[in-house]
Every structure is written in structure tokens, then in C-alpha cells.
Amino acid sequence: MEYNALKQGIYDYTEEELFYQDYYNARQDPKELQHFLNNLDMDMVLKKHRLIIEKPETIPEKFLDSYFFDLSNNDSIVIQKHARFSPAIKHSHTFFEIAFVYDGKCSQNISGQTIQLRSGDICIVPPGIEHSISVFDDTIVFNVMLRRDTLHSMFYSFLNTSNILSSFFLNNIYSKKANDYIIFHTGEDETIKESFIRMHWESTNRQLYYYNAITTTLLLDFYLLIRNYGESVQMPLFDNKVDVQRYALIQYIQENYKEISLTDLSRKFHYSNEYASRMIKELTGMTYTEILRTVRIERSQDLLSNSTMTVSSIAEAVGYDTTEHYIRQFKKHTGMTPSAYRKQSTSIRNY
């Protein structure tokens, strides 16, 4: 479809938005609200995941991956236009959420802090952070959901590029709590705006290679954000010097996973092995051995999906002494063999 037609189409109200607009208007008057609630088709409300504040059964305690993602095919990216007039319900989820304000302005409440967003702002909220977004006018916001468990395998090369966005993702993948959000101010950057419209169109129409198109477009956006807007990024500061040191440990493991040992890591930061182990456990909930295995397996997932290297070559490339040991560790981590993972990944990529 021609780009200008796509631009115009995003302003049209969907069935969901019309429903929420009626609900919003009804909530301005107690009698109208009661009339609205009395006439609800609850089967439809529950089937279509409509959120009604006065109906607690419609509001999940936590938004799990299964609420948005089709887990049967390892779907890892979902793109939606935020439903205007939907209630601003505080919630957390198990995935990363990117909110891009395409046109207008809105507010996000993140961990009790209200943040004003305007056209061109991109706000990324990690898993486990309580937040809500308020859009009660014609403002257009796109939401992009990224599964935490598959983010590393999707964007491995980017995440191993030293920059503020990759650090944000990595810290929130491996630590139990890092930064609550990161915001980029892109203003009226037409390249960024067009990319979100096209990703939304691909997600809605699902033509051949739509998933590849979305992934590639989003990756390009990440690089453009760092190159053009990295210096004006907005994010909470680490609480103290110890936090900075802990995250540096994780980053160093990421960069040296192939041959690193706990002794090497401890010497680098002038810690004892025991102290380094304790810091990693406190930050990630994993032991040094567990996080090293996680990093190596995720690197190998990228190679299985995006190269023709043999399994034995991949095992050596990510730091395993034997192919057999690698296969055992891979199966322990993912529940399948490397060959089965490669076959599944190829079928999804060609879907």
C-alpha cells in the first residue's frame, strides 16, 4: 500500500477504540457508566481482552507473554497501535515494551513517576516495571512488545555493540532490576515515523516474510537511535557506584564469554572470586556458571539461526571444549538439541 494512504489509515478508529471511547465517555457520569456496564456482553469482553476497571476479572494481575504472543511459533515481536481511550491501568509484564508517540502527546506513569511524552519520543520499559499510559484524545502511539527470552537471539549483534541501548537491554535481561526506562527524543524524524507505520502494516497484514521485514526494520531503528539521538537519551541514573560496578561485570562477561574464567573476571575488577560470585548472584539471581552458560547458549542460538556453521564449529566458537558437552548444555537450557533449534528457527524465518 502507498505510504500516504498508510499514514492516513492509522487515524481511523478501530472497533476496539470505539468501544473504549464509549466506555470513557460513560465513566464521566455515574448513571451512564452503570448503563454501560449493565449492557456489556461479557463473553465478548473476555474473548477480546477488553479491560474494564469495574470488572476485575478482565484485568490480569500481570501481562504474561501468552497474553500477546503466539507461543506456538516462537513469535517474538508484536506491534499494535495503542487503543485510544483505553483505561490507564497500572501493570507490569514479562516482556520489553516500546511506546512510540507518532503524533500528539501522552503521559506514562513509570514506578510512580509521571513522564510527559510528545511526538517522536520512544520510551522503552523493561519487564517487571509497573507502569501505565494515558491516551484520551486523538494521539497516535505505537506499542512494540519484545519477548525477553528471545530478544538476545534476535538482536545478538546489536546487543554486543557497546552503546547505551544495548547496555539497557542486557542489564534488564540478566539482572533482577536495572533501569526502569529509557527514552529517546527523535522529534519529527520522518525515517523513524515511517518505519513504525510500515512495521505496523507488516504486523497487521502478515504477508510473506513479514516477520523478517519487522525485525530488520526495528534493528535499523536501534542503530539510528544510537547514532542520532544517543547523546540526548533520558533514563534514571544508577542508584550508586556499586550498581555501576555490578553491571560492568555482566557487560564484561558478554564481551569475553568464549574464554573467560571466574578468576579472569575477578582479577579484571580487583575482586576475590567469592566476592565476584556474590555480586553476580545478587544482581542476576544466577551463579557465575549459570550466566556464562546462558550467554554462550544465546550466542550459539544466533549462529544456528543466521549461519551455516556446523554444530561442532559453533560449539568451539562459543567456548565449549567438546561438541557433546555443548549439546548437553544447549538441551538443558532450551529443551531441544541445537539441530532441532536450527530446524525450527529456519521454518519460522521462512514463514
pLDDT tens column, 45-90: 999 999 999 999 999 877 776 767 665 555 688 899 999 999 999 9
DSSP codes of every residue in 305-338:
HH----HHHHHHHTT-S-HHHHHHHHHHHHSS-H
CATH architecture type of domain 241-349:
Orthogonal Bundle (1.10)
Q: What angle do CA 139, 143, 145 make, to 5 degrees?
A: 170
Question: What is the structure's pLDDT at 172?
Answer: 83
Query: Cβ contacts of residue 87 below 8 Å, gap of 6+?
Result: 20, 23, 24, 51, 52, 53
Is 62-232's fold the same as 241-349's?
no
Residue 214: pLDDT over 60:
yes
Burial class (CB in 10 A: 0-12, 13-18, 19+), 4: exposed
What average pLDDT does this structure show over 268-286?
Answer: 87
- The pLDDT tens digits for 105-132 are 999 999 889 999 999 999 999 998 999 9
Burial of 308 (C-beta count, 10 Å sphere; 0-12/13-18/19+): exposed
Q: Which CATH architecture has domain 62-232?
A: Sandwich (2.60)
Q: What is the pLDDT confidence band of residue 176, given thresholds at 50, 70 and 90? A: low
Residue ranges per structural domain of the chain: 62-232, 241-349
Give strand ranges (E) for 186-343.
none
CA-nearest of 262, 254, 264 to 302 is 254
pLDDT at 230 over 50: yes
* More reliable by pLDDT, 305 or 337: 337
